[in-house]
Structure 1
Amino acid sequence: MDSPPPPAALAWASELAGPAAGAWAVQRLAGGAHAATHLLRTPDSSTELVLRRFPPGDRAPAYEARVLAAIDGLDGWAPRLAGADPDGLRFGEPAVLITRLPGHADITPACPETAAEQLGRALARIHSVPLARLSGLRDGMAASASVTRSAGRGPAAPVLAAHADRLAGRPPVLTHYDYWSGNVLWQHDVITGIVDWSGASLAPRGFDVSWCRLDLVLLHGPGTAEVFLTAYQEAAGEKLSDVALWDLFALTNSYRTVETWVPNYHDLGRTDLTAAKLRQRHTEWTEDRLARLPENSYEPCDRPR
């Protein structure tokens, strides 16, 4: 999937963009391992589209097209759908074409705490979208259940299993499902948009919060995750319940896979992070979260005896 788009893909983009787009300059965009992502730009830069190509048989582009139609650009904070070929009929790979948002991903900010504040406020904005405009989105907690079964191991797994219903019962919001620094675009140190909506769902707000906090811990340390949470709660106008339990949700679901995130981090400039470092930070964050649980509050007493 790292290969350049085939000529048939560029012909498809030209059909959708109109006669002015007779030729394209192609640039690979960094980040992400699920899809091959390329910027298509006309020579005069009058038209810019982003082509996302997926492995044959992948159903993610079909769902991403549905999500992008539902969120309708999020007032400029999300791409708009320009075209979709979820069955790969045009050139053998399922794909979507979307509008380009200004900015670029940045996981090496000069001031991680300032970036974390913006990440928190941006997420609160996403979570405030009225549910009435989000018909057809999946249940995010149900969708993650298979991940929990396959990747959900580690010291926090019994606690999480005992209280899965507690988390799933929280009120749903628009959830990005993969809200981390690499899916946020920046321009002049200001967030300009959020990309990669292929997993967006309806789920409790703690879902996105916990995954972004885990990412910030791995990148910059626990202090940055706390700055993010404070900014999020202030912007949302309410405190998040069961923060430590939600953190354990993200930790448990990433227990077996955290080392595989190394290529994503390297692609965006954090070549200092190794699999060993990610595992160490993941373990330390797990131990911290378990220690922060109120005594006896989450005792997994309903496990089979």
Structure 2
Amino acid sequence: MTDVLSWAAEQLGCPVRRLRPLTGGTHARTELLATGDGREVVLRVFPAGDPAVQRETRVLPLLDGLAGLAPRLLAADPDGAATGRPTLLVSRLPGDGCLAPADPRSWARQLGRTLARIHAVPVGIELRDPLAAGPTGAGPTGPTVREHWHRLVAQPRVLTHLDYWSGNTLWVGDRLTGVVDWSGAAYAPRGFDVAWCRLDLILLYDSRIADVFTDAYRSAAGSLDDVELWDRSAAMHAYGQIETWAPNYAGLGRPDLDGPALRDRLTRWTDTLTDRTPR
């Protein structure tokens, strides 16, 4: 079995060395590497058997860099045959995570406009449909989501990130410079990504900032149906796992959003949704 740094050096054709770990996610071990020819690249090592690398190797060429907003694939060991674990090597994008912007409204608008650009990418390959298995999750919003599930699955599909939240974006100053972690990319209705990001913004701020994001998305992408129903679906998906998100927020500078705090904020948002009459 080849050491992962030796594998990276072989793939890139030059020596590499570790610079530092990259924080903000728990799905993979992520490190910043320096190459002997002056570049910086990102190495991601996933748990054995994880299909994430296989998925990213399919979607990153499709994105073609997304005009500088998505990483480019440099090398992959999808099944860990060379390194022992699924391993991915991608270009480094400029910027760092930002969950406490100076201007949250401008920050939210950029999140909305960028998501619209992602959804506009033509899909020329077959991607999984995360709605095919039916509604999953629990919590008070579940019954309404299940009752109206036919409305969600009937909507047109686009390229979706499937984990589009602020922690998977990079920023230089007040400018969004990249979107990372494409291992979940799928073919799904636009509302899935929109509601997932709205939930993140509600956990970080409130529904007003989430609405700023949604308005910016609509301005760039056009009308969007059933936002409130998608909100209920996102809350249902998060209900059984919300405490596990705490390390992701802590790694990006929000240790105040620990398990109990996240549960409390999700509960209050769920109560708001269930108090409304479904439309």
What range is the shorter-chain TM-score in? over 0.9
Structure 2 partner of 1:119: 111
CA distance in 2 between counterparts of 1:78 and 1:163 reads: 34
Q: Can you list the C-alpha shifts for 1:135-168, whole angstroms capped at 9, x where unaligned?
A: 122113226x4xx43xx11111111111112101
Structure 2 partner of 1:55: 47
Indicate the SS of the match to 1:141. Answer: coil
Q: Does 1:203 align with 2:198?
A: no
Unaligned segments of structure 1, at least 5 residues = 1-5, 298-305
CA distance in 2 between counterparts of 1:130 and 1:92 reads: 34
Indicate the SS of the match to 1:193. Answer: strand
Structure 1 partner of 2:271: 287
Structure 2 partner of 1:27: 20
Indicate the SS of the match to 1:286. Answer: helix
Asked if the contact 1:251–1:286 (Cα under 8 Å) also holds between the matched residues in 2, the reply is: yes
Structure 2 partner of 1:12: 7
Structure 1 partner of 2:237: 253
1:92-171 correspondence to structure 2 within 5 Å: 92-131=84-123, 134-142=124-132, 145=134, 148-149=135-136, 152-171=137-156
Indicate the SS of the match to 2:32. Answer: strand
CA distance in 2 between counterparts of 1:112 and 1:32 reads: 22
Q: Can you list the C-alpha shifts for 1:202-234, whole angstroms capped at 9, x where unaligned?
A: 111100000000000001111110111111111
Please tell me the residue identity of whatever aligns with 1:11: S
Q: So what's the TM-score if we normalise by structure 2?
A: 0.95
Q: Does 1:38 align with 2:16?
A: no
Structure 2 partner of 1:84: 76
CA distance in 2 between counterparts of 1:124 and 1:57 reads: 32
Structure 1 partner of 2:199: 214
Q: Does 1:187 align with 2:177?
A: no
Q: Does 1:226 align with 2:211?
A: yes
CA distance in 1 between counterparts of 2:18 and 2:36 reads: 6
- Measure how far apart 1:43 and its partner are: 5.9
- Measure how far apart 1:243 and its partner are: 1.0
Structure 2 partner of 1:269: 253
CA distance in 2 between counterparts of 1:17 and 1:91 reads: 15
- Measure how far apart 1:128 and its partner are: 1.2
CA distance in 1 between counterparts of 2:276 and 2:113 reads: 25
CA distance in 2 between counterparts of 1:64 and 1:234 reads: 29
Asked if the contact 1:244–1:292 (Cα under 8 Å) also holds between the matched residues in 2, the reply is: no
Q: CA RMSD in A?
A: 1.6
- Measure how far apart 1:275 and its partner are: 1.4
CA distance in 2 between counterparts of 1:293 and 1:245 reads: 11
Deviates most, 213-222 or 57-66: 57-66
Deviates most, 67-76 or 223-232: 67-76
Asked if the contact 1:120–1:228 (Cα under 8 Å) also holds between the matched residues in 2, the reply is: yes
Asked if the contact 2:163–2:193 (Cα under 8 Å) also holds between the matched residues in 1, the reply is: yes
Structure 2 partner of 1:239: 223
CA distance in 2 between counterparts of 1:95 and 1:22 reads: 18
CA distance in 2 between counterparts of 1:204 and 1:40 reads: 36
Asked if the contact 1:175–1:208 (Cα under 8 Å) also holds between the matched residues in 2, the reply is: yes
